[in-house]
A and B are shown apart, each in its own frame.
Chain A
Amino acid sequence: MGSNMAEAHPVGFQWVMEAKGRGARVFHVDPRFTRTSAVADTYVPLRAGSDIAFLGGVINYVLENDLAFHEYVAAYTNASFLVREDFADTEDLDGLFSGYDPETATYDRSSWFYEGAEPGVEDEERARSQTEPLQTGAGGAGVGGAGDVPRDPTLQDPRCVYQVLKRHFARYTPEMVERVCGTPRAQFLEVCRGWTANSNRERTTALVYSVGWTQHSVGAQYIRTGAILQLLLGNIGRPGGGVFALRGHASIQGSTDIPTLFNLLPGYLAMPDDSHADLAAWIADQRSDGHKGYGYQVDAHLVSLLKEYFGDAATPENDFGFGWLPRINGDHGTYRTVMDMIDGKVFGYVVMGQNPAVGSAHGKLQRLGLANLEWLVVRDLNEIETATFWKDSPEVETGEIVPERCRTEVFLMPAASHVEKEGTFTQTQRMLQWRTKALEPTGDRRSELWFAYHLGRLVRERLADSTDERDLPMQKLAWDYATEPGPDGPGPWDEPSADDVLRRINGYDLTTGELLSSYLPLKADGSTSAGCWIYTGVYAGGVNQAARRKPHTEQGPYDAEWGWTWPLNRRVLYNRASADPEGRPWSERKKLIWWDAERGEWTGHDVPDFPVRTPPGHVAPEGSTGPDALGGDDAFIMQADGKAWLFAPHGVLDGPLPTHYEPHESPIRNPLYTQQGNPTRVVYGRPDNPSNPAPPERGSEVFPYVLTAARLTEHHTAGGMSRQLPYLAELQPALFVEVSPELARERGLEHLGEAHVVTSRAAVQARVMVTDRMRPLRIDGRTIHQVWLPYHFGHTGLVRGDVVNDLFGVVEDPNVFIQESKVATCDVRPGPRPRGAALTALLEQVRAAAGVTVETGTRIATAIGTPHVEEDS
């Protein structure tokens, strides 16, 4: 679901085809019949933006028919935990959970806690502006006193999580699924039967998703729904089970592990904010009372990181240089930053491996932001739209950007390609694979490593004599990576050694100078270093484990000697759950790890994801914390309570349980609740970011169709790596819009003719592709059409086209600030779009017809109707 794996991940899809060849049944649930659907056993259509209703329906099917894997659920999830008495569900409050504040569009989450647990005082504004759930990523959110929560192991208490869940999803019936998703009942039930029949002691089911799930204003809750279902069916931590997030690029997993995100440090450690005066304050903020598991060890992880950053300059006396880390004080996410550019608050921008003028939602907003900078650095293989916006963007045509007057100075830096540099890629399975360099880069092309290293070197040289306190972090950095002669020959421009960087990420025992083989010995006293604690062990035994390439024909079932998977080369996370509470595999067929009573340790085919000598049945001593506090059945060792969360008492900002909300832009009224959309979604009510109206607002009929966009196999994301290449460009040479024959007839669209797709932001011209792969759905009694476009095109390259992302506005999920770019509403009209001033006039006309104002879409609490607009807009 939410994934077109055959097209977007064709290499990984070979394993799906292999599994299918061995008898696996493949279901593809998607708004569109794709190349994945073509080879699936069953294709199931649904409306874009309705997946929570669909999955909620499957959860209801499981609970109503008593099909959950009870022993697993009772032992390893929080199903038995009691929730506070003052918790109120969306079923009680018509689409809102208890604690909602319409003025701030945030929840006071204290009523969501477990019975008896003491919620601390939360700064909900801070939690929201820094996307706290993302910051608590690896360790999970803290829950004070989790060890003492009253439980009902029989799962019968009306306030236990299991019963709360049952009530919450009771209305997600097959009839409701049909009404909300448009999926015919019979097909929905076939999915339910297939999923549940294949999930038990003997069998497991894998769930695969991609950005079709994440890029929604309820994106994090989509994933939560999938996780809840897989937990109920015992499909987590077991071979063949799991929730697989297919990442969007070769090393996107790597760029979250060692993050390019504003609020994270490497290894999912929270970026300090301005409330953290010292290291102790930061550590205290990461922990909760009775905190179990490895998330408690954050002090060792952060201090080791600081030792890697600042080397000998980091000492216990100076808090290991904690004060030199940057502080955040609000939303510094990518979209906020772009709006701050427009508002004149940001002056410079460095863009590496990204083409936001094409690839980010609301392309026009992106380009207007770029046009209001002093300087812009673009590092890429080609001169992409992000570097040429000032001379050839659509805004030049409309007069909104005047090349002669655009003040942004653009520095285009040529980048080496992936075959011209060495290092690791971290893929979807958390596997690091070392790549050697095949070719020296030509001309001035250089690796990212070279660029970052020498940029740092030059900045440090410039600041060497500075006495300004703010320059201390740069001065104190241990910027002493080994180098080797690069394309420029030996000298000051040597290539930094990627191998040395990997060693430094792995970390050292600083007392002996030996490379570490595990993160377990990391200490908070400054005696160890590690650039990313979850990667510690990638250089175990002084060997680059990521470079291992033993063929599967020469090794066991989990191919442990191919590359290296974090943490500690574990192939299946939380694999303690592959054995029953007594430590025996749930079945012979699905055995992965088990307790070896003779040797008194966990063993098996995979690296056990559990304290290796903690036996089944172990009861943690009173008052213990961290790994010592884990009981023998606390399989989810990174959670503060050791359990997988069916119900999230903390850590999610938009509700402890997923609930179906309509997308920000939808042609229909939410059939389930008065509350229409996510009541905590992040809206930016600004004149330059208009929304199409959604019911109950008037005017939604002007944009009657559901719009979604995605990739083609033949192109790479924003096109910077494919539109310039003839062999790829010729395979998909033009922007097209896929419509069903029914919609083509309704709108007079002719196959291969021109059409334009219109939203309140933009009109995008595309060739019409009439195809039976698109089909109308019956939603809540109405026929709803969906249209789809690939988003790869832009105004440079061998093949060109309008920027599809111009159609989308900016609205975000509150938990992680992901934009809703997988669903919006639109109109489709035959013929080419108008140009220049006529285009501006068309957009003004449609906005007027739909009654779009700056307040449209910003009354996010439907029943209350307070608009959320930016003050100076």
Chain B
Amino acid sequence: MSNRWSGPLHDVAADAGHVDPPPRVGFFTDTSVCIGCKACEVACKEWNAVPEDGLDLLGMSFDNTGALGADSWRHVAFIEQPRRLGHQETGFAGLPTGPSGIPETAVAVEPRLREAPRGGAELGTSPLPGRTEPQALGMPGFDRPGDATGAESRTDFRWLMASDVCKHCTHAGCLDVCPTGALFRTEFGTVVVQQDICNGCGYCVSGCPYGVIDRREGDGRAQKCTLCYDRLSGGLEPACAKACPTDSIQFGELDELRERAARRVEQLHGLGVPEARLYGHDPNDGVGGDGAFFLLLDEPEVYGLPPNPVVPTRDAAAMWKRAGLAAAAFAVAGVAAFLGEGRR
């Protein structure tokens, strides 16, 4: 087997059959300079004619989008936490404060999440694997490791904002499982759904390790960020990056973005923000690295991102072998073979 199912892949576009493709492009989202203006969400919808996604007050800080989905291709998360950001002074000392309100607000939001059909993905971050207790996810960041809880009086606070988007994985689960060829790898190394081919089967929805791709209600076809394929073809940067006032969303050639991101992490560490770390930049991770990667200031779960995303096809080779040995595993073998065929 070649390594095209998982692990580092030098040239995704060439691997997909593009002859002499341009350099792979992507996003580096530096959440440390995000001001939560949501211009990315609006610019994306304007350019791509993505419909409105519901007029609901979610109570999750300033996040009323909730999650990425068919009708939201950019999503800005707002995370209120009772802890300090780097050396930031947030003026709590000496104030007549009581305990933090974050647990209570999370409790108020949580029942709404549990009733939500996609396990909370409509309203906020997806439930984390491995949790048995109902997890209050109303305010992203509730009850994370290192959070201060139960304090008599709150003394610290930070407000994180981060714009999430399709990761345009090196090994894209959605693309790998698509039976119709509607999902394809562009010459820019990005992953795009062709609406005229998609039959709405929804395999891609479960194939995505990030919960990004989604079927549009009333239409059924899969929808997600195209990294503005049409704009790229016209030599323009994607709408969200163009609209971002603080350059939190940076568009460019992936190799250069990774170098830039490494320098930025180093700079932030030097400025006393040791919690700065990259997410999705590593070609050795479970998806072979993301085309859209992030600088985060906390664990990925806090932002609603899976800590160790793994493309389902990483285990396809092993599954294939097992399928050959076990007659009882016909169904599994069939799916795996289908996955292999479906990839173009």
Residue positions of A touching B, CB distance < 8 A: 6-7, 10-11, 13-14, 17, 21, 33, 35-45, 182-187, 190, 712-714, 726-734, 736, 740-742, 744-745, 750-753, 767, 769-773, 775-778, 783, 798-799
Residues on B with beta carbons closer than 8 Å to the beta carbon of A6: 35-37
- CB distance A741 to B55 under 8 Å? no
Q: Determine how close the nearest CB of chain B comes to the CB of A469; give it in whole angstroms.
A: 54
Q: B9-38, CB under 8 A of A: which get 1 and which 0?
A: 000000000000000000000000101111
Residue of B nearest to A14 (CB): B245
Q: Determine how close the nearest CB of chain A comes to the CB of B201; give it in whole angstroms.
A: 28
Closest 6 CB pairs of A and B: A741-B101, A184-B94, A726-B52, A751-B108, A38-B159, A734-B57
Residue of A nearest to B34 (CB): A39
Q: B102-120, CB under 8 A of A: which get 1 and which 0?
A: 1011001100000000000
B188-247 contacts to A (CB < 8 Å): 245-247
Residue B39, interface by CB 8 Å? yes
17 A-B contact pairs sorted by A residue (CB < 8 Å): A33-B159, A38-B160, A42-B89, A43-B90, A44-B91, A185-B94, A186-B94, A187-B91, A730-B53, A730-B54, A733-B56, A736-B57, A751-B104, A770-B101, A772-B101, A776-B96, A799-B55
Question: Which of B35, B46, B57, B92 is close to A38, meaning CB atoms less than 8 Å apart?
Answer: B35
Question: Which of B87, B92, B95, B109 is close to A751, meaning CB atoms less than 8 Å apart?
Answer: B109
Residues on B with beta carbons closer than 8 Å to the beta carbon of A751: 59, 101, 104-105, 108-109
- CB distance A43 to B96 under 8 Å? no
Whole-angstrom CA separation of A58 from B45 in the bound complex: 46
Residue B100, interface by CB 8 Å? yes
Residue of B nearest to A40 (CB): B88
Residues on B with beta carbons closer than 8 Å to the beta carbon of A17: 33, 35, 246-247
Whole-angstrom CA separation of A181 from B90 in the bound complex: 16
Residues on A with beta carbons closer than 8 Å to the beta carbon of B36: 6, 35, 38, 713
Residues on B with beta carbons closer than 8 Å to the beta carbon of A14: 245-247
Residue of B nearest to A732 (CB): B64
Residues on B with beta carbons closer than 8 Å to the beta carbon of A798: 55
- CB distance B100 to A772 under 8 Å? yes
Residues on A with beta carbons closer than 8 Å to the beta carbon of B329: none
Residues on A with beta carbons closer than 8 Å to the beta carbon of B337: none
Residue of A nearest to B57 (CB): A734
Q: How many residues of B contact A (CB 8 A)?
A: 53
Whole-angstrom CA separation of A308 from B96 in the bound complex: 61
Residues on A with beta carbons closer than 8 Å to the beta carbon of B334: none
Residues on B with beta carbons closer than 8 Å to the beta carbon of A11: 245
Q: Determine how close the nearest CB of chain B comes to the CB of A194; give it in whole angstroms.
A: 10
Q: Determine how close the nearest CB of chain B comes to the CB of A62; give it in whole angstroms.
A: 21
Residues on B with beta carbons closer than 8 Å to the beta carbon of A778: 94-96
Residues on B with beta carbons closer than 8 Å to the beta carbon of A744: 101, 104
Residue B146, interface by CB 8 Å? no
Residues on B with beta carbons closer than 8 Å to the beta carbon of A187: 89, 91, 93-94
Q: Determine how close the nearest CB of chain A comes to the CB of B245; give it in whole angstroms.
A: 4
Residues on A with beta carbons closer than 8 Å to the beta carbon of B90: 33, 37, 43
- CB distance A43 to B93 under 8 Å? no
* From A185, A713, A731, A778, residue with most partner B Cβ within 10 Å: A731
- CB distance A745 to B53 under 8 Å? no
Residue B161, interface by CB 8 Å? yes
Question: Which of B53, B105, B246 is close to A771, meaning CB atoms less than 8 Å apart?
Answer: B105
- CB distance A713 to B38 under 8 Å? yes
Residue B284, interface by CB 8 Å? no
Residues on A with beta carbons closer than 8 Å to the beta carbon of B37: 6-7, 10, 35, 713
Add 13 more A-B contacts to A41-B87, A769-B59, A778-B94 (CB < 8 A): A6-B37, A17-B247, A35-B37, A43-B89, A43-B91, A731-B41, A734-B57, A736-B57, A770-B101, A771-B80, A772-B82, A772-B102, A778-B95
- CB distance A39 to B35 under 8 Å? yes
- CB distance B157 to A773 under 8 Å? yes
Residues on A with beta carbons closer than 8 Å to the beta carbon of B160: 38
- CB distance B158 to A38 under 8 Å? yes
Residues on B with beta carbons closer than 8 Å to the beta carbon of A44: 89, 91
- CB distance A733 to B94 under 8 Å? no
Residue B42, interface by CB 8 Å? yes
When A17-B246, A33-B157 are in contact, do A770 and B104 touch as well, CB less than 8 Å? yes
Residue of A nearest to B63 (CB): A731
- CB distance A741 to B42 under 8 Å? no
Question: Which of B59, B94, B101 is close to A740, meaning CB atoms less than 8 Å apart?
Answer: B101
Whole-angstrom CA separation of A11 from B246 in the bound complex: 8
- CB distance A731 to B38 under 8 Å? yes
- CB distance A10 to B35 under 8 Å? yes
Main secondary structure of the interface of A (DSSP, over half): mixed
Residue B154, interface by CB 8 Å? yes
Residue B97, interface by CB 8 Å? yes
When A10-B35, A713-B38 are in contact, do A190 and B64 touch as well, CB less than 8 Å? no
- CB distance B55 to A733 under 8 Å? yes
Q: Determine how close the nearest CB of chain B comes to the CB of A695; give it in whole angstroms.
A: 20
Residues on B with beta carbons closer than 8 Å to the beta carbon of A38: 35-36, 158-161
Residues on B with beta carbons closer than 8 Å to the beta carbon of A769: 59
B37-90 contacts to A (CB < 8 Å): 37-39, 41-42, 45-46, 51-57, 59, 61-62, 64-65, 80, 82, 87-90
Whole-angstrom CA separation of A744 from B65 in the bound complex: 25
Residue of B nearest to A769 (CB): B59
- CB distance A775 to B64 under 8 Å? no
Residue of A nearest to B55 (CB): A733
Residue of B nearest to A9 (CB): B245
- CB distance A752 to B99 under 8 Å? no
Residue of B nearest to A39 (CB): B35
Residue of B nearest to A21 (CB): B33
Residue B145, interface by CB 8 Å? no
Question: Which of B39, B52, B154 is close to A772, meaning CB atoms less than 8 Å apart?
Answer: B154
Residue B98, interface by CB 8 Å? yes
- CB distance B64 to A752 under 8 Å? no
Q: Determine how close the nearest CB of chain A comes to the CB of B296; give it in whole angstroms.
A: 15
Residues on A with beta carbons closer than 8 Å to the beta carbon of B89: 41-44, 187, 190
Whole-angstrom CA separation of A107 from B93 in the bound complex: 42
* From B39, B51, B154, B157, residue with most partner A Cβ within 10 Å: B157
Q: Determine how close the nearest CB of chain B comes to the CB of A143; give it in whole angstroms.
A: 41
Q: Determine how close the nearest CB of chain B comes to the CB of A350; give it in whole angstroms.
A: 32
Whole-angstrom CA separation of A394 from B331 in the bound complex: 64
Q: Determine how close the nearest CB of chain A comes to the CB of B266; give it in whole angstroms.
A: 14
Q: Determine how close the nearest CB of chain A comes to the CB of B343; give it in whole angstroms.
A: 35
Q: Determine how close the nearest CB of chain B comes to the CB of A7; give it in whole angstroms.
A: 7
Whole-angstrom CA separation of A753 from B112 in the bound complex: 13
Whole-angstrom CA separation of A740 from B153 in the bound complex: 13
Residue of A nearest to B80 (CB): A772
When A730-B54, A772-B82, A798-B55 are in contact, do A35 and B159 touch as well, CB less than 8 Å? yes
Whole-angstrom CA separation of A155 from B277 in the bound complex: 54
Residues on A with beta carbons closer than 8 Å to the beta carbon of B52: 726-727, 729-730
Q: B128-165, CB under 8 A of A: which get 1 and which 0?
A: 00000000000000000000000000100111110000
Question: Which of A772, A783, A799 is close to B157, meaning CB atoms less than 8 Å apart?
Answer: A772
- CB distance B91 to A773 under 8 Å? no
* From A190, A730, A776, A798, residue with most partner B Cβ within 10 Å: A730
Residues on A with beta carbons closer than 8 Å to the beta carbon of B105: 751, 770-771
Whole-angstrom CA separation of A775 from B80 in the bound complex: 14
Q: Determine how close the nearest CB of chain A comes to the CB of B12; give it in whole angstroms.
A: 31
Residues on A with beta carbons closer than 8 Å to the beta carbon of B42: 727-728, 731
